[in-house]
Amino acid sequence: MTRRYNFCAGPAALPEAVLARARDELLDYQGRGLSVMEMSHRSDEFVAIAEEAEADFRELLGVPSNYKVLFLQGGASLQFAMLPMNLLGQGGRGNFIQTGIWGKKALNEAKRLGFDCHVAASSEPNGHTAVPAADALTISDDAAYLHYTANETIGGLEFDYTPQVQRNDGASVPLVCDMSSNILSGPRDVSQFGVIYAGAQKNIGPAGLTLVVVRDDLLGNAQPTIPSLFDYQLLAEAGSMVNTPPTYAWYLAGLVFKWLKADVGGLEAMDAINQRKAQKLYAAIDASDLYSNPIARHNRSRMNVPFVLEDARLDGAFLKEADEAGLLNLKGHRSVGGMRASLYNAVPEEAVDALIAFMADFEQRRG
């Protein structure tokens, strides 16, 4: 077995220690004679796994007790629909900050469902290379929540501040954050948010699991005729087990949380590593004549580093040689082209060092 360095944007690299443990107990979980995949979700064994995963997640991120943590299916994209259906049942409008493709998808899905929406700010004028300034947000008087995408996975644009959310009448507006691609990358003050949600397949676990952290006072506002599996309150009351949850993904997420706590040492330690990884790579890009990244420095994503080659005709050779050098999945998103190196938590610093060395060597030979 040879593990290679995986820079995929998602589904993404998982910690090798997590995969090894999953492998070792795949056919027999702790002597019980069956796989976690084969357990009833209502069995004592699985309920213990599920509860421990939630407790570890709460501890890592410091989730206050007046928030529920839901383990759901459907990805962040299903939340694009669930959020307005849950939060706008009593009226009001969703307000959206637009900083790229994912934020736009969230807005468009709310519109598709028939909800009138307000764009509070957009970085479209600057080509999504810098997030709107904190004082440039215009919240509507009927704002029921403000939605934003903390990190745009495709554009490589990350907020460096937490948006202000107050209406003209002084009412505080719940902040709803798609944190799919930077959750758990460092500490966060959860109490600033109304809802945080994240598809698992970047920093949490395998695809097929979605985490939703929702403040208690936002439960119970759903439209009464939405699908029962959409209703945060029903889901919260059932401990995310209205029906069978994605048990194996939940278990793997729990292993990732344990790894973050025990092997990494928590989110502050993870943050420091992530800062170092990203700074190294951006410094290498900025110092080169071949590679470039267009994002404003203070908004450069620590998780997804898109870059282009000065001569796009070298793209094919770059990707081929990178793959041969054991550096996988560096191709940029099909909608933007170029390259993208995703440096999620599970991508080790050695991977970044190897990438930087390869990039320098490639530039010297082909640049």
> Is residue 329 near a copy of itself by the rule CB under 8 A?
yes
Collect all residues with Cβ–Cβ distance below 8 Å to 326 and sequence separation of at least 6.
2, 4, 5, 354
Can you tell me which of 50, 54, 69, 75 binds a copy of itself, judged by CB under 8 A?
Answer: 75
53 vs 75: CA distance, rounded Å: 18
> Is residue 26 near a copy of itself by the rule CB under 8 A?
yes
> Is residue 164 near a copy of itself by the rule CB under 8 A?
no
- 8 Å CB contact between 321 and 355: no
364 labeled binding residue: no
| Residue at 46: amino acid letter | F
Closest CA to 103 of 29, 188, 27, 181: 181
Minimum CB–partner distance for residue 181 and a copy of itself (Å): 12
Contact positions with a copy of itself (CB under 8 A) in 170-199: 199
- The residue annotated as part of the active site, out of 56, 68, 104, 202, is 202
Contact positions with a copy of itself (CB under 8 A) in 215-254: 225-230, 242-249, 252
For residues 231 and 271, which CB has a smaller minimum distance to a copy of itself in the complex?
231
101 vs 34: CA distance, rounded Å: 42
Provide, for the chain, the percentages of residues in helix, strand and coil under a 3-state DSSP scheme, each rounded to the nearest 5.
40, 15, 40
201 labeled binding residue: yes
> Is residue 320 near a copy of itself by the rule CB under 8 A?
no
Collect all residues with Cβ–Cβ distance below 8 Å to 280 and sequence separation of at least 6.
352, 353, 356
Q: Determine the interface stretch with a copy of itself among 18-26, 170-178, 211-219, 283-291 (rule: CB under 8 A).
A: 18-26
- The residue annotated as part of the active site, out of 56, 104, 178, 231, is 178
42 labeled binding residue: yes
86 labeled binding residue: no
- State both tokens at 75: 């990805």
- 8 Å CB contact between 176 and 146: yes
Can you tell me which of 52, 58, 73, 167 binds a copy of itself, judged by CB under 8 A?
Answer: 73
Residue 28: active-site member: no
Collect all residues with Cβ–Cβ distance below 8 Å to 269 and sequence separation of at least 6.
none
Collect all residues with Cβ–Cβ distance below 8 Å to 135 and sequence separation of at least 6.
none
Minimum CB–partner distance for residue 129 and a copy of itself (Å): 25
Residue 280: active-site member: no
Minimum CB–partner distance for residue 212 and a copy of itself (Å): 14
Residue 250: active-site member: no
366 vs 279: CA distance, rounded Å: 24
Name the residues that contact a copy of itself, by CB under 8 A: 1-4, 6, 8-14, 16, 19-20, 22-23, 26-28, 31-35, 37-43, 73-78, 81, 109, 112-114, 199, 201, 206-209, 225-230, 242-249, 252, 326, 328-329, 334
